[in-house]
Each structure stands twice: as structure tokens, then as C-alpha cells.
Amino acid sequence: MINTYSSNLVAGPDVFERRKRDWRNSQVVYQVFVDRFAIGGDLASRSHLYSAPRRLRPWRAQPRRGTFDPGAGVWRQELDFWGGDLKGVASRLDYIARLGATVVYLNPIFEAFTNHKYDTVDYFAIDPQFGTEGDLAALCEAAHARGLKVVLDGVFNHTGRRCAWFEDASARPESPYRSYYRFDSQVSGGCVTWRNSTNLPELDLEHEAVREILFEGPDSVVRHHLRWIDGWRLDVASDIGPGILAELTAAAHEARLDSLVIGELWNYPGGWMPAVDAAMNLYLATILMDFARGEMSAGKAAALIAAMVADVGIEPLLKSWCVLSNHDRPRLASLFPRLADRVFLWSLMITLPGSPLVYYGEEIGLEGQGDPYQRGPMDWDRALGGKAEETRVLKELLQLRADHEALVVGDYVPMVADRLLAFSRRTHSARQTVIVAANAGDTEVREAVSPQMPWLVDSTPMRELRTGAVRKMECGFLRLAVPPRTVQIWAPEPEAGRGYRFLKRVP
């Protein structure tokens, strides 16, 4: 790979100060699947909300895959509930903050038939299983008091079949809601649905009335909830398309200038921004997974990441989420049973450009290979017991990121290497430079790498931030010995000269 970086391309100090002032550039996201996270309200008083065909499960029970229920139009596992609610989330905000998170992202919370709530019935009503609009407002107030932001899941491509619009449109051809959807006698079920899922009829997002309700109107869904929340994560953003996404994002920014609009994109992120502020960067996560498994070389991973940064741009990437696991992906402990392999991935997640996303329970090693197993109930005995090694390591890594400005808002500079994935993160100051070298192989790699940073002068001490090992810059190179399955993170120690100061007259 040819590195075309030039040291005089680094942005000036005003750029990094601006980035720091924008909360969207410094996120650590904690994702909550509300039904499975915590019970805060009186569950007995809500028991009637889980009547058949729904089923309320004991908290310690694990999800099981079920068969398709043609009468309900959903899979049986979609109707199993554990009773988590918004008060439960509010009761655990201190736990989330102590982990190092700065953003709470909630899977859908609006009224719906299923446990996952991606089949919206009413966009202006919190599902009574989860609470009320007052509970949402209280949650946001409590989060903000702790320095946490709140992002909601917006499902605007489709509703559920039990939405009043769809029920009326299905029952009456003359219904005013008929044109909200795409009815077609040639389509199975008579209406276009998201990926042919019976329960998810797609909205006609070109229809003016639909647009007015969802994002254009002064009290539209997008604008209304931004009274309390700080941003939207847009479900299946690629189905909404860049044109409508841009209009929706503009509406959100009109309601709240610093709001975050982030799109769920299971594809290459280039070209989608500024239609949205940022992306769920599943493309980057795929690169990291393949690299960690040994299915992609360090050189290929480095080239793909460098090309992505050059194409997408550092600004939207800083706001994008690196999603190693979530409600749609297997849990890391199931894919990578060895903690060392998960630490390898987490180490890259916290050093590459973007916002780390921690799916609830990853910090205690919850397992789950696929839907619905990765949506199991939170194990609070383990989470609060203080003995989970995953928690200790993840907290340390997130704190390391927070302590180094370059890892949060710095530019990304690829480094030439043969067998390592190597790069640096840097600001206008050489003192803040961080050098990262990852060895995904099974043997130690010894290699000299150059950050091509002219201000890291010869003999500048460099410290590995987790082990404390010290090496010195040698004529622009850092000579490394990286153990197998290890990510090393290096930063300069210019004051380590016993009176003599390195970097004293350089930027």
C-alpha cells in the first residue's frame, strides 16, 4: 500500500477544538434492548399487557426460537417478553455511565405488537409495556444530568400491520390511509412489505401526508421527540434512500441543531453522508471481524480502511458507530469465545475513527449466536458482582480512549507495514500522537514502522499504554515486537528525559 500522507495536511488546532465541542464526535454508545435490560416499574400492574398470544417469561429464562404463527403474522419468539421498561433503564444509568458510555441508544420504544417494536402501531405513543411519554422525559432528564445523551430508534420505512392506518386502509378501499402504503394485487398479501415480511407493510415515503406526519410537520414524529431526546438512529436507512434521508436529517437539525441522525447501513458507507450525519459502520466492523479471524490480511485491511477514510471523510466517520455486535448480529462471546480475541477487536474499535458501540451485556460476556439468542435478558448478578473480567478490560480501554484526544477527534493516518495493521491518530500536536499496530497472526511480528511524523524526533520515548513498555523513535521509525493476537497502542512521553525535554520546540 502506498501512503500518500503529508505531514502538512494535518488540520489546525481550531479544527480539533471544534470537533471536541460537538458531542457527536466523542460518543461511546451503549445499546439497550429495552424489554431485556431491566425491570423498574411494577411488573404485576402491567401483566395484562402480555396476554395471549404474548407470553411473559421468567427473567432468567433464555430466548428460544419458535415457529411462525400465521394467525398473529409473526414468529413465536417475537411474542416472548421479559418485562423490561424505561424505568428500568433509568435505574441503571449510573451503571452505564461508570462503564464509560456517553450515549444510551434505545431500540424502538413506540407502541407495537412484538417485543422488538420494529412494527410500529403508534409513533406518538410509548408502548405501555415500556411506560409513558413522561417516563421517556424523565429518563432523558436523568441521563442528561449524568452527561449522557439519548438516541432513539426511528422506524420510518414501514409500520406494523396493526397500525390504525394500515388496518383502515386494508378494510376500506376508499380509506384516506390507502395511499400511505403500496397496495398491489400482484404482490403476496396484497401489499408491499419490507423484505416480504408479513407484519411490516412499507410506507409510501413520497406521499405528502406521510412525510408531514413523520418529519416535515412542526409536530412531526422526528421533531416532536427531539424535545427530549438527542438524536435518531434510522432503521433500514438504505431503504429510505439518500434523497429522503437528507430531508429527514434537515428536519431534525431544524428542530435541534446538534441532533444526531445516524443511518443503519449494511453496505459501504461512502456516498450516504451528508444525507445522514453518520452511519452504523458495519462495513468497518466486517473488515475487523475478517482480520481478527485471519480471513483478511493486514495489508488488505489497511488498504480498505484507508480508502474508506479518504472517500467518506474523517468528519462523518468520527460520528459513525463501530458495531461489532447488536440485536441483529451474534454476540462476540459466541463468535470469539476467547476473551483475548474480543479484547483484540475492542482495541481496534476504540482506536480507529468512530464511536465504539457496546451492546448491553457484551461487558459481561453474554452469549447468543443469532436471533433470538443474542437478545437474552441482562444478567445483573454478574454485571454488579464486580468479577467479570470483560467489564474491567472494556472499562480500561474506554478510559484509555477518553484520555487521549487523538483517539476521540484525531485524524487517521495509515502507516506502511508488511504484516501489521498499523496507523496513527493525530491532532495538531505531536505530543498527542497515538500509534497503533495490530498483529492478528499466531506468531510474534517484529517490524519497524514509521508514522511519517516529522516532529517525533530521534530518541523520543514512546510508551505502550497498557503494558508500560518503552521504546524510542529511531530516525523516524518505531521498532516493534508485537505478540500474536495483540494490538499495541503507543504514545510519546516527551518529559521522560530527566530534565531534558523532547519535542520542546515543535508543534
Domain containing residue 477: CATH number: 2.60.40.1180
User: Residue 1: pLDDT above 60?
Assistant: no
CB contact at 8 A, 346 and 321: no
**DSSP bridge pairs for 480:** 447
Q: What is the pLDDT of residue 5?
A: 42
Q: In degrees, to the nearest 5, what angle opens at C-alpha 177 toward C-alphas 174 and 179? A: 85
Which CATH number do you get for residue 41? 3.20.20.80
Do 392 and 339 fall into the same domain?
yes
Do 130 and 185 fall into the same domain?
no
Q: d(Cα 486, Cα 74) in Å, to the nearest integer?
A: 44
Q: What is the pLDDT of residue 506?
A: 86
Which residues are annotated as catalytic?
Answer: 235, 264
Residue 31 falls within a domain, yes or no?
yes
Q: How confident is the model at residue 270 (pLDDT cuts 50, 70, 90)?
A: very high
| Average pLDDT value for residue range 183-195 | 94
Residue 16 falls within a domain, yes or no?
no
Residue 4 falls within a domain, yes or no?
no
Residue 69 falls within a domain, yes or no?
yes
Q: How confident is the model at residue 2 (pLDDT cuts 50, 70, 90)?
A: very low
Residue 477 falls within a domain, yes or no?
yes
Do 178 and 225 fall into the same domain?
no
Each residue's pLDDT tens digit, 324-367: 999 999 999 999 999 999 999 999 999 999 999 999 999 999 99
Do 451 and 382 fall into the same domain?
no
Give the rounded percent of residues in the chain with a pLDDT score beyond 90: 93
Domain C-terminal end among 408, 423, 455:
408
User: Residue 497: pLDDT above 70?
Assistant: no
Mean pLDDT of the chain: 95
Q: What is the pLDDT of residue 505?
A: 85
CB contact at 8 A, 407 and 434: yes
Residue 220 falls within a domain, yes or no?
yes
Q: What is the pLDDT of residue 501?
A: 83
Do 296 and 440 fall into the same domain?
no
Give the rounded percent of residues in the chain with a pLDDT score beyond 70: 97
Nearest to 301 by CA among 426, 189, 199, 437: 437
Do 240 and 95 fall into the same domain?
yes
Q: d(Cα 416, Cα 244) in Å, to the nearest integer?
A: 40
Q: What is the pLDDT of residue 327?
A: 98
| Average pLDDT value for residue range 84-91 | 98
Measured between alpha carbons, how far apart are the two ends of the chain, in Å? 28
Do 37 and 122 fall into the same domain?
yes
Number of domains in the chain: 3
Q: How confident is the model at residue 499 (pLDDT cuts 50, 70, 90)?
A: confident
Q: What is the pLDDT of residue 443?
A: 98
Q: Which residues of 427-455 are buried (b: 16+ CB within 10 A; e: fewer)?
A: bbbbbbbbbbbbbbbeeebebebbbbbeb
Do 404 and 435 fall into the same domain?
no
Do 314 and 394 fall into the same domain?
yes
Do 375 and 337 fall into the same domain?
yes
Domain C-terminal end among 352, 375, 408:
408
Count how many residues are written for the chain: 507
Long-range CB contacts (within 8 A, 24+) of 367-370: 367/331, 367/333, 367/334, 368/63, 368/330, 368/331, 368/334, 369/330, 369/331, 369/334, 370/330
Which CATH number do you get for residue 193? 3.90.400.10
Q: What is the pLDDT of residue 496?
A: 63
Residue 15 falls within a domain, yes or no?
no
Nearest to 106 by CA among 20, 40, 36, 210: 36
Q: What is the pLDDT of residue 13?
A: 84
Query: Which DSSP letter does residue 369 get?
Result: S
SS3 of 294-312 = CCCCHHHHHHHHHHHHHHH
Instruction: Give the domain range for residue 275.
Output: 22-156+207-408
Do 227 and 92 fall into the same domain?
yes
Residue 507 falls within a domain, yes or no?
no
Taken in order 19, 23, 29, 31, is the CA torsion positive or negative? negative
